[in-house]
Amino acid sequence: MDSNKITREYFERILLEMRHIDNVKPDTRMRLWGEEFSMPIATAALSHLNNTCEKGMAKMAEGAALAGALCFSGMGEEEELADMCATGAKVIKIIKPHEDNQVVFEKIRQAEKYGAFGVGMDIDHAFTGSGEYDNVFGLPMKPKSAEELRSFIQSTKLPFVIKGVLSESDARKALEIGAAAIIVSHHHGIMGDAVPPLMILPKIAQVIAGRIPIFVDCCIESGMDTFKALALGADGVCVGRAIMGPLKEKGALGVQEKMEQMNRELAGVMARTGFAKVSKIDDSVIWKI
């Protein structure tokens, strides 16, 4: 089955109770690695947005900066990363699991050179659906061992994020090797019948136990989706396809407007469920059908 369809349907099975007495105006700010952001909503690690609009990646970063939000970035050339960082956005560069580790180390150096906020790796892009090593736009990929990932982490002072965690096992290993954060994701359905991120999130959150931040990716479309992810154990979410239309139509301003809209929706849900701060949101208001 289509993992995105399963994921979307799981979101809709999660309902919320309302709480009104003693509520206050909510604060949606989030802190990460000593920096404050206006929202717990980040851009997803998208790639190739120049096909959406001219300098699409830089405009995505600019929109995130205008919204006071974090920006994850997917694969791309050095010049593109330089343009993104030059917007003033806090950019976390997510690197593919290239077969040649020297390519990975070089991309880490580029992130350091241009002042990226962090780096990371997309661990779930190592295989094709037929079990062969993946090849992305002519670039050979290969799965990484815990020791290889540890070597990447230890090679830089930048915080290192492991993206593509969808099990307690990988969450535990990410902690053991020194990851600074994880992204719970099935890479927009890279495998059929993948468990919805929000279904496994509470178990992963138990493993992480607050030691590092958890972001959630896949099918995040609204402030309500964001709230549900936070309630089930996330510290932040990544929004991808929901910003692509606004990016195409209005560039950076479209990204800013969409992210701010989602943040207002989040504040509205917080106000009606009795949570004053995003860090205080929990699953006590969650009902599942």
* pLDDT for 51: 86
| Contact present, 37 and 91 (Cβ < 8 Å) | no
Four-residue CA torsion sign, 183, 186, 47, 101? positive
| Contact present, 182 and 143 (Cβ < 8 Å) | no
Q: What pTM, to 2 d.p., does this model score?
A: 0.97
- Unique residue bearing structure tokens 């289509």: 2
> How many domains are there within the chain?
1
* pLDDT for 50: 87
* pLDDT for 49: 95
* pLDDT for 233: 98
* pLDDT for 234: 98
- Unique residue bearing structure tokens 């404050």: 36
What is the CATH classification number for the domain harbouring 179? 3.20.20.70
Q: What angle do CA 4, 250, 227 make, to 5 degrees?
A: 40
Cα–Cα distances in Å, from 2 out to 6, 72, 220, 272? 6, 25, 16, 33
* pLDDT for 256: 98
- Unique residue bearing structure tokens 């509205």: 268
Q: Which amino acid is it at 31?
A: R
Cα–Cα distances in Å, from 272 out to 10, 17, 267? 22, 9, 9
Backbone φ/ψ region at 137: left (φ over 0), alpha (ψ -120 to 50), beta: left
Q: Give the domain extent around 207.
A: 3-288
Q: How far apart are CA 85 and CA 92, in angstroms?
A: 9
Cα–Cα distances in Å, from 137 out to 20, 140, 154, 186? 52, 9, 28, 20
Residues that are catalytic: 187
* pLDDT for 3: 96
Could you list the pLDDT tens digit for every one of the 289 residues in the chain? 899 999 999 999 999 999 999 999 999 999 999 999 999 999 999 999 988 999 999 999 999 999 999 999 999 999 999 999 999 999 999 999 999 999 999 999 999 999 999 999 999 999 999 999 999 999 999 999 999 999 999 999 999 999 999 999 999 999 999 999 999 999 999 999 999 999 999 999 999 999 999 999 999 999 999 999 999 999 999 999 999 999 999 999 999 999 999 999 999 999 999 999 999 999 999 999 9
* pLDDT for 1: 84
